[in-house]
Amino acid sequence: MKLLEGKTVLVTGASTGIGRAAAIGAAQHGADVAINYAHSDGPAQSCVTEIKALGQRAIAVKGDVADPQTAQDFVAKAVETFGKVDVMVSNAGICPFHAFLDMPVEVVERTFKVNLHGAYFMVQAAAQQMVKQGHGGSIVAVSSISALVGGEYQTHYTPTKAGVHSLMQSTAIALGKHGIRCNSVLPGTILTEINKDDLADQEKREYMEKRTPLGRLGAPEDLAGPIVFLASDMAAYVTGAALLVDGGMYVNLQ
């Protein structure tokens, strides 16, 4: 059964990792997909090629989500190409691991701007378009287990993920009257570029694996199903919710 037939899905930061898996997962479920990306063209184009090979339409639009104008341009380009926006997956994020006491101001400000301001303006731009269209929509934000628990080298990052989680709660209220649902996924530890260096520390990696009741760290594809589900009409009565996708890591105290 295809869950997103005829839908237009937008995904930020989708040339790699969880965003890419979500974009491809949406296409496998019948959606046309617009992806935002920030850096090199190659991975973005390869994502587009993969989606087209599934028989769906796809475009890649370059832009830094930290700039509010990027959100307006991304939505405008998607509407120009596909005629509408049904789903926004706000995924782009960074986590430059760093100790707290000597954290550079620029690292804090950049992390806040990309992760939280970026999500805010993307969600707002998508919602403005959805309200104009008048037939509702679904917004899924990629928050994190780190919205709920801390990290010694993530003091600049965890507040942004708590912020994204909170943003989905407040926008669920603000947009419910327009039939727009807002939910977040809270991934645990998923093997991607974002934590490649951090998890090169074997001891840390083994600790994280041992903490996970399902016995392994996640793959980006582990997020595709939950994101597609929340985006789809299967979740028609789900809004303001946060779905942990962490192999059980969060609940594992002892």
Q: Which of these, 224, 218, 225, 136, lies nearest to 182 by C-alpha position?
A: 136
Question: Which of 125, 194 has the CB closer to ligand RM4?
Answer: 194
Could you tell me the smallest distance in angstroms from the CB atom of residue 196 to ligand NAD? 9
Here the tokens at position 176 are 């419910």
Question: Which of 145, 180 has the CB closer to ligand NAD?
Answer: 145
Strands (E), the chain: 8-11, 32-37, 58-62, 87-90, 137-142, 180-187, 242-245
For ligand NAD, how many residues bind (rule: CB under 6 A)? Answer: 29
**Binder of ligand NAD out of 3, 4, 11, 13 (CB under 6 A):** 13
Contact 164, 91 (CB under 8 A): no
Spell out the long-range contacts of 231-234 with Cβ–Cβ below 8 A and sequence spacing 24 or more: 231/3, 231/4, 231/7, 231/9, 231/26, 231/87, 231/89, 231/138, 231/140, 232/3, 232/4, 232/29, 232/138, 233/3, 234/3
Question: Which of 44, 244 has the CB closer to ligand RM4?
Answer: 244
Question: Which of 137, 188 has the CB closer to ligand RM4?
Answer: 188
Contact 130, 171 (CB under 8 A): no
Question: Which of 34, 194 has the CB closer to ligand RM4?
Answer: 194
Give the per-residue contact string, 100-139, with ligand NAD (x = CB under 6 A; - = no).
Answer: --------------x-------------------------
User: Which residues have C-beta within 8 Å of that of residue 143, sequence separation ≥ 6?
Assistant: 161, 162, 164, 165, 168, 184, 185, 186, 242
Q: Is 89 in the site for ligand NAD (CB under 6 A)?
A: no
**Binder of ligand RM4 out of 194, 230, 235, 245 (CB under 6 A):** 194
Q: Which residues are catalytic?
A: 144, 157, 161
Q: Is 247 in the site for ligand NAD (CB under 6 A)?
A: no
Q: Is 111 in the site for ligand RM4 (CB under 6 A)?
A: no
**Binder of ligand RM4 out of 146, 171, 184, 232 (CB under 6 A):** 146
Question: Using CB distances below 5 to 8 A depending on partner kind, what does residue 38 bind out of ligand RM4, ligand NAD, none?
Answer: ligand NAD
**Binder of ligand NAD out of 60, 92, 122, 182 (CB under 6 A):** 92
Place of tokens 């475009």: 59
Per DSSP, what are the bridge partners of residue 181? 138
Contact 16, 190 (CB under 8 A): no
Q: Which residues bind ligand NAD (CB under 6 A)?
A: 12-13, 15-19, 36, 38-39, 64-66, 91-95, 114, 142, 144, 187, 189-190, 192-195, 220
